[in-house]
Amino acid sequence: MSYELLTVDTVAGYVATRPALARFGAVSQVREVGDGNLNLVFVAAAERGGLVLKQALPYVRVDPTWPITPERNGIEGRALRVHNRVAPGLVPEIYDADPDRHVIAIEDLSDHRVWRGALNEGLRHEGVAAALGRYVAKVAFGTSVFGLGAKGHKAALATAANPELCEITEDLVFTEPYITHEHNRILPANVADVAAYVGDPDVRAAVGAAKLAFMTHAEALIHGDLHTGSVLVRDGSARAFDVEFAFYGPVGFDLGALWGNYVLAAARAVVLGDDAHAAWVLAQAEETWQGFAEEFTRSWPGRADPRIIDLDSYLAQVYADAVRFAAAKAARRVIGFSRVSDIESLPEDSRVRAIRAVLAAARLLLTAPGAGGEPKPLFERVGQVLSEASR
């Protein structure tokens, strides 16, 4: 290890060495709260407020035999500064970035909670889905050719490559679930469900097209991993965090990540018999889309070059991308590496039904003719499919 990892005992001393953090004063209390796949995360209480330190490990936290570049921490810091500029109030503030120890210091949002957990409990945080749509729109406009102009976009793109983390997504989301791979974990009762999904030629063609779009459509500096575990909520507030997967990619990927995770949360609700919560969760797809489309449309008159490119055509392309990405993002969580509590915390018989339902919904999203245009009818159909497939 070429750099020293922080511990609860060394955080106070570390903060004292960082000029950018001097305004917080002495740290008095530290908790390690990291529960994701990759990083150490400390919440520190100091004389003049709280802060969070996030340090990249040089390996996957949940599988130390799997090396992963700690340079992602600097990539996250740079993306977070950009997102704070274009979408203030929708991401945590960033106070410091340390390229030697691979640490960023960010805003303490301990008065918020992770949205996935709240959704799992059947809680409704109104306005979060729309706020996230606005976040995606502000990033989509502010970091793209629309906000930066052609040359500005190319210059920004050149500073924001994230090949190693993109490769993780290419493998885990778009490839491994569709091949025989040691990461895949399939319950005996779901073997036929997975085989039907991954064996469908239309599914494979659509996922292949989605993978190519992910790899080549450098539209904006997207979040890159915008699942419901990357969102902090409080009444009246939503913040997207954990932007280490940020790169210049397709805008629809962030919207699709949210939609795919709404499908997972809804599948959980359906098998638990809470149809009202499932319907509410799926209705958030429309809320997110409206938040996105309205915010993007509001920004449109300020685009750098008003010639030729048509707003409605662009929104239609983002929508079509998002539908495919939603399916891929939901399916990967029930076949491959990195599972989610929505499904994993269910008893096995319910989990089998939820997984079957998620795969049926993903198949619908990837293959339904006429999925274009409107999320409301599409996600109402998703709700029907979840109910039917989980019986």
- In the complex, which residues of this chain contact ligand SR1 (CB under 6 A)? 37-38, 60, 168-169, 172, 225, 338
Residue 37 or 367 having the CB closest to Mg ion: 37
- CB of 122 vs Mg ion, minimal distance in Å: 24
Site string for Mg ion, 30-69 (x = CB under 5 A): ------x---------------------------------
Encoded tokens for 349 = 């018989």
- CB of 180 vs ligand SR1, minimal distance in Å: 19
338 makes contact, choosing from ligand SR1, Mg ion, none, with CB < 5 to 8 Å by partner type, with ligand SR1
Among 244, 270, 247, which residue's Cα sits nearest to residue 385?
A: 270
Is residue 59 within a helix (H) or strand (E), and if so which, with residue range? strand 59-60
157 makes contact, choosing from Mg ion, ligand SR1, none, with CB < 5 to 8 Å by partner type, with none
290 makes contact, choosing from Mg ion, ligand SR1, none, with CB < 5 to 8 Å by partner type, with none
Residue 340 or 358 having the CB closest to Mg ion: 340
168 makes contact, choosing from ligand SR1, Mg ion, none, with CB < 5 to 8 Å by partner type, with ligand SR1
Cα gap 278→272, rounded to integer Å: 10
Q: Is the dihedral of CA 34, 40, 41, 45 positive or negative?
A: positive
Write the DSSP string, 253-288. HHHHHHHHHHHHHHHHHHHTT-HHHHHHHHHHHHHH
Stretch touching Mg ion by CB under 5 A, among 28-36, 62-70, 170-178, 256-264: 28-36
Distance, first Cα to last Cα, the chain: 51
Stretch touching Mg ion by CB under 5 A, among 62-70, 108-116, 220-228, 366-374: 220-228
- CB of 244 vs Mg ion, minimal distance in Å: 6
- CB of 242 vs Mg ion, minimal distance in Å: 4
Cα gap 261→257, rounded to integer Å: 6
Residue 225 or 287 having the CB closest to ligand SR1: 225
Encoded tokens for 361 = 């919904």
Cα gap 160→12, rounded to integer Å: 31
Per the listing, tokens 């709700």 go with: 383
Q: Do residues 252 and 318 touch, judged by C-beta distance below 8 A? A: yes
- Report in angstroms the alpha-carbon separations of 189 from 32, 327, 352: 38, 21, 7
Q: Counting contacts by CB under 5 A, is residue 242 touching Mg ion? A: yes
Q: Do residues 238 and 90 touch, judged by C-beta distance below 8 A? A: yes
172 makes contact, choosing from ligand SR1, Mg ion, none, with CB < 5 to 8 Å by partner type, with ligand SR1
- CB of 37 vs ligand SR1, minimal distance in Å: 4
Stretch touching Mg ion by CB under 5 A, among 242-250, 288-296, 307-315, 334-342: 242-250
315 makes contact, choosing from ligand SR1, Mg ion, none, with CB < 5 to 8 Å by partner type, with none
